[in-house]
Amino acid sequence: MPSFFAAEALLPGGWARDVRIAVDEAGRIASVRPGAAPEGAERLPGLVLPGIPNLHSHAFQRAMAGGAERRSPAGQDSFWTWRETMYRFVALLTPEEVEAVAAQLYVELLEWGFTAVCEFHYLHHQPDGTPYADPAEMALRHLQAARAAGIGITLLPCLYRHGGIFGKEPAPGQRRFLNDLDGFARIVERCREAAAGDAQAAIGLAPHSLRAVTPAMLAAVAAMDGPIHIHAAEQAREVEECLAATHARPVEWLLDNAPVDGRWCLIHATHMDAQEIEDLAASGAVAGLCPSTEASLGDGVFPLRDYLAQGGRFGVGTDSHVGTSPRDELRQLETSQRLALRERAVATSEALPHPGRLLVEAALAGGAQAAGRPLGAIAPGMRCDLVALDPEHPALVGRGGDALLDAWVFSGQGNPVQEVVCGGRRVVAAGRHARREEVAAAFRRTMRGLLARAGA
């Protein structure tokens, strides 16, 4: 049974020194002993945190990052104009290219300290909308990429049938996404078969949004097993359309008409009124925040202060992957609050006066809940996912404990992540993923081919 040793580690009860972490053959933590001796254990440098779950990813969009910024001819660019660019890009992708892009993304996530990813997967079919011979071909490419990179994954096949609330016909650019309930169920079943017995994988469900599924479809998905993720209230226009169609706001409608509880994750939930904030927090669901993407797309600012005051749960994801670091998502989340409220230290409490600590612990707990896997803590029974931060990095030097977490989140642009263990296996050493060059070479070939076909 392998063991790891951390001179200082963040445990559920707080900071501890000289921590020995024993791991079983399945990659679970068997025991945690503070005040232990290091002999016979693999030493991890610096300060050790639980690995952070990334609760929202569209992996193929990593290939678009930085490539959808140009002003459109009409100007007045928004999420909706970006979406048209995404539709044109997504028409180009082959299964092999999707796998190469996902593997590159997952290596990057690991190098920055994400050790699990919730892959919200809606790119199902061939460019003309015809299913592949295996209808789960594209989903299984993500599972294969995650295994190659060594990251844990909650694969969330997405049900996407319509183009607006409720039951509007989809746009031509959405044809690769579309399934009826039977087609969706076949994809879910194939994913469950492929993930069976894999302790690093779980399967959940993703009704895309109220724009993409009917109430009857949502009810059918809610009756299935697994965590449920759904986009909600990302854009003000979405709220307006939902009010016009249902006389309710999106989060309000979901809370009133779906069995929203602790297995649900509402992605974005940016535009909520005071009652929705209170009710979402009371539901036990997780708000899935993607601050870098929400800023990139001009979505708006999540009402974090009011949500925390109600005891709301949240985690962070990288969504469109304009950023791939948990540190950057947490920084963007807090600093966007400061800009909106003209205050500082928003994500704090009397018990946790350091925003870095509160943000990290919330992301750990909310991300683990959304992933539906035993993650997010250095404790027996949890996956052995560990992130070691270099205390000699210029952003961190001379700091420890909660002050070091503040420095990690709010200081500098370099990457202080030195070592990463995922499922009991070291996948990043000296800041580099073991398969970085191999994966990057395949990604470079893929990007050159994609951009040549796109005429870029």
Active site residues per annotation: 268, 319
CA distance 361 to 293: 21
Please give the Cα distance from 135 to 125 (Å, whole number): 7
Q: What angle do CA 62, 389, 55 make, to 5 degrees?
A: 40
Question: Would the CA dihedral through 94, 99, 104, 106 be positive or negative?
Answer: positive
Tell me the DSSP string of 95-145: HHHHHHHHHHHHHHHHHHTEEEEEEEE---S-TTSPPPSSTTHHHHHHHHH
Give the closest residue to 99 by CA, choosing from 435, 439, 423, 438: 439
Q: Burial of 131 by CB count in 10 Å (0-12 exposed, 13-18 middle, 19+ buried)?
A: middle
> What is the C-alpha to C-alpha distance for residues 282 and 279, in angstroms, rounded to an integer?
5
The residues facing 153 across adjacent strands are 117, 201
Beta pairing class for 52-57 and 3-11: unpaired
DSSP lists the bridge partners of residue 16 as 9
CA distance 298 to 79: 7
User: Where does 25-94 have alpha helices with state H?
Assistant: 79-90
